Amino acid sequence: MKKSGNIHVTSRDFEPRSDSPDVPLAVVEEILLNLPEHQVVRVCRLVCREWKELVDSAAHWRERCRREGIQPCDASRPPEDWRLFYFITKKQQNLLKNPSADDGLQGWENEQNGDGCWVTEVNRKLFPNNTVTKCFSTSHRSCLKQQLIDLTKEGYSGAFMDQQQPHIKISDWYAPISCCGSEYQICVELLDEKKKPISTFQPEKVFFQKGKNYPWCQMTHVFMDYGLGVRFIRFTHGGKDTKFLKGQHGIRVTNSSVEIYPV
């Protein structure tokens, strides 16, 4: 076995040697648990029938999850497929592109009032974890922007979505500026293959008064038990100022997210 900064394994590393005693399966299991998961599936699993059974066992992936602190949201509902649960959880990421205005308006489509409605700017209001440095700003007109997430392109197959029904967590941060009243709105839809809504989260608009120093606020929601057929997610948010002042005096939004949580 070659040793370097990253463990590299090839099938030659596991060629049986007549002068070596058989390695107990308990030892093999411990070795496999300390190798990268992709190497275990692509290489080690092909060595022999015993190794294949170890790699394919629920116990192997359940133990990997335990060691890496990966646990189901609901402990009373263990995953039907621990290997799939492990890999999906490991690849968990924010499915929205450019969520915090670091790349201007790239990745977002204007849903209402077209170009010139939105601008990006430096965040001047203290954010909870001090990591967000930019935000999107609205004007006196109703400014809405959106992204359409293709779950298949992101690696979540139709079979996985229908069989596993993973939780889908959305989060959005919004804040007004003190010199003007403003409003905030959000709508997130789970869509079928024809982009027709299956489940929708659309709370009432949030209004802010002029003259108060409001902090950043967070909007969250978790879609659960939403049924079959979800293939796309459409995320839309925005707002405006309520005094119709010229310039960008409306609501600010940033650090938006859409994440898949296997259950």
Q: Which two tokens stand for residue 124?
A: 């001047």
pLDDT at 123: 92
Helices (H), the chain: 25-33, 37-42, 49-56, 58-67, 82-90, 158-164
Q: CB of 254 within 8 A of CB of 99?
A: yes
Residue 41 domain-assigned (yes or no): yes
The reply to whether the predicted model has a pTM over 0.85 is no
Helix (H, G, I), strand (E, B) or coil at 12: helix
Judge whether 6 lies within some domain.
no
**Is 118 in the same domain as 191?**
yes
DSSP assignment, residue 246?
S
What is residue 116's predicted lDDT score, i.e. its pLDDT? Answer: 59
pLDDT for 251 equals 93
pLDDT score recorded for residue 16: 45
If the chain, 263 residues long, is cut into consecutive pieces of 10 residues, what is the mean pLDDT of each piece? Answer: 44 45 80 87 87 90 86 73 81 89 93 72 88 91 93 87 89 88 95 97 94 90 95 96 76 95 71
Confidence at residue 107, expressed as pLDDT on a 0 to 100 scale? 95
How high is the pLDDT of residue 170? 97
Structural domains of the chain, count: 2
Residue 153 lies in a domain: yes
* Sign of the torsion formed by the C-alpha atoms of 35, 41, 45 and 51: positive
Per the listing, tokens 């709370």 go with: 203
3 in a structural domain? no
Q: What is the pLDDT of residues 93-150, one digit of tens each?
A: 899 999 999 999 999 998 766 555 899 999 988 898 788 999 999 988 889 999 999 9
Query: Is residue 98, in this structure, part of any structural domain at all?
Result: no
Question: Can you give the residue range of the structural domain that contains 19?
Answer: 11-90
- What are 41's two structure tokens? 């599936």
What's the one-letter identity of residue 205? K
Say how far apart CA 122 and CA 91 lie, in whole Å. Answer: 30
What's the pLDDT score for residue 183?
94
